[in-house]
């Protein structure tokens, strides 16, 4: 089936005038299908452009995390382009998978070998990806056409790199939404293609143990460290009644700070902080060294080694 290469502003004309946000709390308005009389009743100052031709109340936008807004853009564009396919990192977001970074644009691929529309027709919220997309690598999820799980991981490895693909694949493994055998069989169909090397590396490094993107990145950074001081890296290790993010060389506990906020899940923030401190002290009393690392340290790289890995190495070598 050929993809629809019309600009999204034209394609939104076939959409309903009003449809709900994914959380059901606000109305999205299609300004292309709305009548002039309908639009006259709306105070446009109270609305924000979600995508070309679709607006959302500004009150809905307030305090919404970036990934929620990005997912709503996927929702709107998926409805506006029923024959294009949401792909790559945007497909991962729609499929409720972890992503390393919130996509700034919705990635689309046209079915078959259609290529993509002229770049001058792309709205600011969209980027098209080239590449043959057979029918067997497409699916429908909650009414939106997306790439299948193997193709989604492959495209992320190709366009965002191995680390981003590991983050997403870790989560897919953890939820048992795909298995390694399926992916290894899929690699046979991509031999020699751009991204195939990064895809194979992703499969080799991913596992279902990590509970957050930060843990995934930290685990891969440690396992790829060329420093011989790092002998073993055990994810989600058990120490008595505790489960720690990573245990390095059997005695250095490495925890990622940033996977949750205090005061969530109905728990008192003060009590959570006290419990975390008690846990930290108890691990040290048992003879373990405890290192807590942040996103900033994971992303702060010099000569290919992150600040997080450097801190761990200091403890390992003490």
Residue 228 three-state SS: coil
Residue 80 lies in a domain: no
Residue 223 lies in a domain: yes
**Dihedral (CA of 229, 297, 198, 169) sign:** positive
Provide the number of structural domains found in the chain: 1
pLDDT at 4: 40
| CATH number of the CATH domain containing 223 | 3.40.960.10
Residue 233 lies in a domain: yes
pLDDT at 69: 96
pLDDT at 172: 98
pLDDT at 7: 44
Among 161, 6, 142, residue whose Cα is nearest residue 83: 6
Residue 194 lies in a domain: no
Residue 311 lies in a domain: yes
**188 DSSP assignment:** G
Packed helices 196-205 and 180-187: angle between N→C axes, nearest 10 degrees: 160
Residue 305 lies in a domain: yes
pLDDT at 11: 46
The per-residue pLDDT of the chain, averaged, comes to 88
Residue 291 lies in a domain: yes
pLDDT at 15: 59
pLDDT at 253: 93
Spatial contact of 125 and 106, defined as CB atoms under 8 Å apart: yes
pLDDT at 275: 77
Spans of the chain below 50 pLDDT: 1-14, 259-266
Among 245, 257, 251, 246, residue whose Cα is nearest residue 292: 257
- Full residue range of the structural domain in which residue 302 is found: 213-316
Spatial contact of 160 and 195, defined as CB atoms under 8 Å apart: no
Residue 218 lies in a domain: yes
DSSP 109-142: E-SBT-----GGG--TTEEE--S-B-GGGEEEET
Cα–Cα distance, 35 to 41 (Å, whole number)? 10
pLDDT at 262: 38
């Amino acid at each position: 089936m050929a993809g629809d290469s019309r600009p999204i502003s034209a394609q939104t004309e076939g959409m309903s005038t009003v449809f709900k946000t994914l959380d059901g709390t606000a109305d999205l308005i299609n300004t292309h299908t709305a009548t002039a009389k309908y639009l006259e009743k709306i105070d446009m100052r109270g609305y924000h452009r979600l995508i070309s031709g679709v607006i959302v109340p500004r009150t809905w936008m307030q305090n919404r995390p970036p990934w929620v807004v990005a997912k709503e853009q996927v929702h709107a564009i998926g409805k506006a382009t029923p024959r294009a396919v949401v792909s790559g990192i945007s497909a991962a977001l729609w499929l409720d998978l972890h992503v390393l970074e919130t996509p700034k644009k919705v990635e689309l691929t046209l079915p078959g070998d259609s290529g993509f529309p002229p770049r001058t027709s792309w709205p600011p919220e969209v980027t098209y990806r080239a590449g043959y997309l057979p029918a067997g690598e497409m699916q429908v999820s909650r009414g939106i056409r997306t790439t299948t799980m193997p193709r989604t991981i492959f495209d992320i490895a190709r366009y965002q790199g191995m680390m981003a693909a590991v983050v997403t694949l870790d989560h897919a493994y953890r939820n048992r939404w795909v298995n390694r055998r399926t992916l290894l069989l899929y690699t046979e169909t991509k031999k020699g293609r751009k991204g195939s090397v990064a895809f194979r590396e992703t499969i080799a490094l991913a596992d279902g143990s990590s509970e957050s993107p930060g843990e995934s990145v930290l685990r891969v950074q440690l396992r790829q460290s060329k420093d011989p001081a790092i002998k073993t890296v055990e994810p989600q290790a058990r120490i008595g009644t505790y489960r720690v993010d990573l245990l390095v060389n059997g005695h250095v506990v490495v925890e990622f700070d940033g996977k949750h906020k205090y005061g969530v899940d109905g728990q008192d923030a003060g009590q959570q902080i006290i419990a975390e401190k008690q846990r930290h002290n108890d691990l040290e009393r048992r003879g373990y060294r405890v290192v807590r690392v942040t996103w900033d340290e994971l992303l702060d790289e010099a000569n290919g080694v992150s600040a997080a890995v450097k801190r761990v190495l200091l403890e390992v070598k003490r």
